[in-house]
């Protein structure tokens, strides 16, 4: 097995970190560790910098293979290295777009996440509007790490956000 991959969060919420940890913990093909950049005075040698979530102000940002940013931040910044994955709940040009919807049969709320023309739904019981962006950022980061979109959606459908 290869090195443990590092997902670093720059300026994100504790909720984002918790969601990402739950998503990647269920993925057996690769080991991941999720850290806030405040916990990383240096990037440990035993970790492979995989994905940086948030603004690229982190001094080790060039080491990461991919960057995940809100679409609004992306259009204002230049990224010198790595692939960039964007997310938004407002702009359809982002790589990952989310919107809340009500399912016609059950009349229950769901979060639709759209990427590359594929629409995935996440049950939204007990979740709040402010959960949309952390959930979308976590899903985008997981896909940027190489976890298939279907697996990410499945994980999100089994997470209790208020646990």
| Mean pLDDT, residues 62-82 taken together | 78
pLDDT at 130 over 90: no
Residue 23 lies in a domain: yes
pLDDT: is 141 or 55 the higher one? Answer: 141
The whole-chain average pLDDT of the chain stands at 85
Confidence of residue 104 (pLDDT cuts 50, 70, 90): low
Asked whether residue 15 is assigned to any structural domain, the reply reads yes
47 within some domain: yes
SS3 content of the chain, % helix, strand, coil (to 5): 30, 30, 40
Q: How does residue 161 score in pLDDT terms, banded at 50, 70 and 90?
A: low
Q: How far apart are CA 114 and CA 107, in angstroms?
A: 20
Alpha-carbon distance 142 to 162, whole Å? Answer: 20
Residue 126 has what pLDDT? 72
What range defines the domain where residue 152 resides?
4-87+130-157
User: What element of type H or E holds 154?
Assistant: helix 149-157
- Domain total for the chain? 1
What average pLDDT does the segment 93-121 reach? 85
CB–CB of 61/67 below 8 Å?
yes
Residue 163 in any domain: the answer is no
CATH number for the domain harbouring residue 12: 3.40.1190.10
């Amino acid at each position: 097995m290869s090195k443990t991959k590092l997902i670093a969060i720059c300026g994100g919420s504790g909720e984002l970190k918790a969601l990402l940890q739950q998503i990647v913990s269920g993925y057996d093909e690769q080991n991941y560790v999720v850290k806030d950049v405040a916990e990383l005075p240096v990037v440990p040698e035993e970790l492979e910098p995989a994905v940086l979530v948030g603004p690229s102000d982190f001094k080790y940002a060039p080491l990461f293979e991919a960057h995940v940013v809100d679409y609004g931040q992306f259009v204002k910044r230049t990224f010198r290295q790595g692939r960039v994955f964007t997310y938004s709940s407002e702009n359809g040009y982002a790589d990952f777009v989310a919107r809340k919807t009500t399912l016609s049969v059950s009349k229950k709320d769901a979060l639709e996440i759209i990427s590359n023309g594929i629409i995935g739904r996440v049950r939204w019981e007990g979740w709040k509007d402010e959960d949309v962006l952390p959930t979308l950022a976590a899903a985008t980061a997981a896909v940027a790490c190489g976890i298939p979109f279907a697996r990410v959606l499945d994980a999100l459908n089994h997470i209790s956000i208020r646990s």
